[in-house]
Amino acid sequence: MNNPCDLNMNFKEQIQKNRIPRHIAIIMDGNGRWAKRQGLARMYGHRQGVETVHTITEAAAALGVEYLTLYAFSTENWNRPKEEVDALMTLLVDTIAKETPTLMKNNVRLSTIGDLSRLPENTQRKFKDCISETSQNTGLNLVIALSYSARWEIIQATRNIASALQRGEILLEDINEEVLSSYMTTAQMPDPDLLIRTSGELRISNFLLWQLAYSELYFTDCLWPEFTEEEFYRAIVDYQHRERRFGKTSEQIH
């Protein structure tokens, strides 16, 4: 079988430096399948996946991407076997502790989106520490979606708008796209320009449903642990060849 990740082309050279996507979101998928193919336990795949997170974060920072949002743990992932959930939480804590110096070195600012209250206390604490340590960095914003789902986020936003309405802080007729966006967990960020999903699955899986309205979608058969810098550059080159019309005609754009 051909490996979809064996790339000979030099995509980095083809990137137009003045049209780097401001915000790239990634559904990192295929860790389990990658491990299974090697006859290993699923956690080996997740551990290898962390190496890919490291590589892609450094590549994004070097290119001048402003926001990189990674779907690390969905609301639905709580339904996985307890041993896998526990091992993933330990991996997250260890990774954050180990990677904080690399984030500092690369001027990366960490933040999270999702229902962090469901995470074990030490996991929450490690993330809070790293968020505070990197808060003054001015380069790439690395956003980790943890215990996140878009439907959860939309429900939170709706509740908060309804309660602001009840308190008389906003009027019904004031509710528009901008207001709804400001109640999302991503309020301070631009919408993703590009969404990448690895492993050949062609789904959004409850990720950033509101924010992805006009994002360009890029799917690759490559599994996350084998997703390389070159694959990342290839996705960006592909994005740069798209025509983003936002509902307008091609003639209006040119």
Binding site for ligand FPP (CB under 6 A): 28-33, 46, 49-50, 53, 70, 72, 77, 92, 95, 144
Least Å distance between CB 81 and ligand FPP?
11
Select 110 or 161, whichever has its Cβ closest to ligand FPP: 110
29 is catalytic: yes
Quote the distance between the C-alpha of residue 170 and its chain's center. Answer: 31
Shortest Å, Cβ 98 to ligand FPP: 9
What are the Cα distances from residue 186, in Å, to 25, 39, 68? 12, 39, 12
Measure the CA–CA gap between 211 and 46, rounded to whole angstroms.
27
Q: Is 91 helix (H, G, I), strand (E, B) or coil?
A: helix
Q: Write phi, then psi, for 28 (nearest 5 degrees).
A: -85, 105
Out of 6, 10, 29, 193, which one is annotated catalytic? 29
Backbone dihedral region for residue 82 (phi beyond 0: left; psi -120 to 50: alpha; all else: beta): alpha
Nearer Cβ to ligand FPP, position 53 or 119? Answer: 53
Structure tokens at 69: 């949002």
Which residue lies nearer to ligand FPP by CB, 22 or 33?
33
| Distance from C-alpha of 61 to C-alpha of 142, rounded to nearest angstrom | 9
CB of 126 to ligand FPP, least distance (A): 10
Active-site residue among 6, 77, 129, 238? 77
Contact 28, 207 (CB under 8 A): no
Please tell me the distance from the alpha carbon of residue 251 to that of residue 75, in angstroms, as a whole number: 42
Residue with the shortest CB distance to ligand FPP:
32
Smallest distance from the beta carbon of 152 to ligand FPP, in angstroms?
A: 16
Instruction: Using the minimum distance from each CB to ligand FPP, give the nearer residue, 65 or 70.
Output: 70
* Active site members: 29, 77
